[in-house]
Structure 1
């Protein structure tokens, strides 16, 4: 199975991508609205087809990227029926099963942090995605969204700790740089309910935490109750079919550039001796090491596409131009190597 764990630093949220390595059918768990382009870049680079977008619960610290991912990929949104969110395609309940490729996700209801919390279990891979119900050496708070410490204790013991000890657990958040844990570890070491703690121990702990009001809840909850659908769709570059790579670089295909030479300024950042061997018609030539010093000489009346042998140096040129304040900038994907592979025309 293809598995990736991604992280949003602002909300300390983990997002997970799972895919069948044969069919390339994939699912994503707990996407963050601001990270949708990053997630899509990875999905596209790995050649995956997104089938489902899962949320573990109605988040209070960030807005989900579910609707935006559906809008861009035609995937289906799946979340707990108990939430009652709008724009959901698959209303999940306890013991539901969802297949993607050769793999199957079992849905386990784990309310207590909120009334709509779910844990997703892949028995074949000995993995469970616990959202905020169970964190690494901790758990979600129980003082809002119909939370209940008593209910959360039962959910964790009956639905998560009932899994085999060697199952790996992947939480919705971590604030200390930890990525995963196991059933055995949490049974023994969880600070709130490990080590054979009783329900009374747990409730006493949770009821006396005195936590501050979640600072993003007034924005997050309304957004998540419509599955993250924004009032206005975020603007994308319109001057070209620009893609964002997983490395964070905006790029366009060589073929598009070759068929729109009159619409762009090409900035060739190779060294002079490389340019003597092959050159795209009309390109402005400035070696990468001189770009910052010669910004004022680069025409800005058209969008700028950067170019080098492989697309690596020119990716840095995009970053330099962006930091200078230019917005309509992208890298030619694959550089001269891709240009030649596609038999596109150049001067010599």
Structure 2
């Protein structure tokens, strides 16, 4: 048996390519959208991708299953569980609980594991030349290492009222059935630490059924459904705004992108025309470089592992945008953005200094200066971390306005007071600062040290 775990750190998303080397066939589970990675793996190992499947209709990334099928001619196998409202709306072979997918001498048994979503399925893998017993289970967003999938995304991200409690109860039943599997079966989930699909995901890539029964909180509520539901729904992080769009695009027909596109480096004249026409500028430079000089109206989303997540919060799926980025980073940036369907890159520039446009600078303050503003009536301190972080402890007098929803809550920011923003260690505050400046808030200071620096020097308010 051939097996390879493919992991995208930017979205903490796992996919898998599994093959029968004797027959030369392979299947891909939960493919990312830039599918060349699977083509390369298959070619290097003399395998042909003949089947493609998914564990559920994803909300956190744009699945590449259809792109991969278009390139390889492989057959799509997708869940037909969950009822009529949870069906994929394009051609596929439907899967029901108990169905078997054969990949050469391997089989994957379909288990319906609702909870995270109604149509969620898992795959129990048996390597028949080696054993008659299952050896791996691919759980998608059902069971993670140390956690389980959240059932509230349909309600919070897609606006489907009343689904989270029903999903939590379904998850309870799915977890009880999972606990009956053999303890030696390896667990390979769809996400790792950093994903918004759970609240306490482990950082190791895999586990076993037996280990999860010992350490995963979800298995401590064997006879307490109410306690399980309450704990599961409590303290889940805000789902990124783009999740609703992913849920839609992964369900319906959509344009395919079978290659990683290359984008033009804009001349100064080309940039100025697009800039004057109102195209949004996303500056991917380090926050310190951005602070020293940035284009008026540009938004600072640094190129790191969180780039796609924050871009998904800030951008919409209809608008074109321009990037400030190094040419050497453009392929990686493009891959990260296309994985959540942000395809409308108009072009990029490498330097803001060569455009003959007067730059602005950020007003970044240190801890000592920040403390001089505390307790003043003409100062508004804004904490742009998420609600759970704020509830766990915050600076006295600070108001919570999460950076992801800041653009929708500008009316909560005073135009008459000195505004000071902060987050945990400065990255989110840099985004928030640029959003505020873009929207005409000029009397803003950024306490970039944030809670990380504050915690080393003072006490919190509960």
Bin for the TM-score computed over the shorter chain: 0.5 to 0.7
CA contact 2:175–2:219 (8 Å) conserved in 1: no
CA contact 1:189–1:195 (8 Å) conserved in 2: no
The offset of 1:144, in angstroms, is 3.0
Q: How many residues align?
A: 239
Partner of 1:71 in structure 2? 70
Partner of 2:174 in structure 1? 155
The offset of 1:137, in angstroms, is 0.7
Counting only pairs closer than 5 Å after superposition, residues 1-348 of structure 1 correspond to structure 2 as 1-34=1-34, 36-82=35-81, 83-124=86-127, 125-145=134-154, 146-147=163-164, 148-158=167-177, 160-175=178-193, 176-194=202-220, 196=222, 198-226=224-252, 229-230=254-255, 234=259, 323=328
Segments ≥4 residues shifted beyond 6 Å? none
Per-residue CA shift, 1:184-205, capped at 9, x if unaligned? 1111110233474632221110
Deviates more, 1:2-11 or 1:142-151: 142-151
Per-residue CA shift, 1:307-347, capped at 9, x if unaligned? xxxxxxxxxxxxxxx84999xxxxxxxxxxxxxxxxxxxxx
Shift in alpha-carbon separation, 1:73–1:232, aligned structure 2, 3 A:
closer
SS in 2 for 1:192: helix
TM-score, structure 1 as length reference: 0.64
SS in 2 for 1:186: helix
Shift in alpha-carbon separation, 1:174–1:88, aligned structure 2, 3 A:
farther
Per-residue CA shift, 1:219-257, capped at 9, x if unaligned? 311221137x426654679xxxxxxxxxxxxxxxxxxxx
SS in 2 for 1:179: coil
Shift in alpha-carbon separation, 1:88–1:214, aligned structure 2, 3 A:
farther
CA contact 1:78–1:88 (8 Å) conserved in 2: no
Distance in 2 (CA, whole Å) between partners of 1:324 and 1:89 is 36
The offset of 1:207, in angstroms, is 2.5
TM-score, structure 2 as length reference: 0.49
Distance in 1 (CA, whole Å) between partners of 2:87 and 2:330 is 43
Distance in 2 (CA, whole Å) between partners of 1:8 and 1:80 is 23
Shift in alpha-carbon separation, 1:325–1:151, aligned structure 2, 3 A:
closer
SS in 1 for 2:111: strand
Distance in 1 (CA, whole Å) between partners of 2:4 and 2:260 is 27
Unaligned runs of 5+ in 1: 238-321, 327-348
Q: RMSD of the TM alignment (CA)?
A: 2.4
Shift in alpha-carbon separation, 1:323–1:16, aligned structure 2, 3 A:
same
CA contact 2:175–2:218 (8 Å) conserved in 1: no
Unaligned runs of 5+ in 2: 128-133, 155-162, 194-201, 263-326, 332-462
SS in 2 for 1:14: strand
Distance in 2 (CA, whole Å) between partners of 1:136 and 1:210 is 17
The offset of 1:132, in angstroms, is 0.5
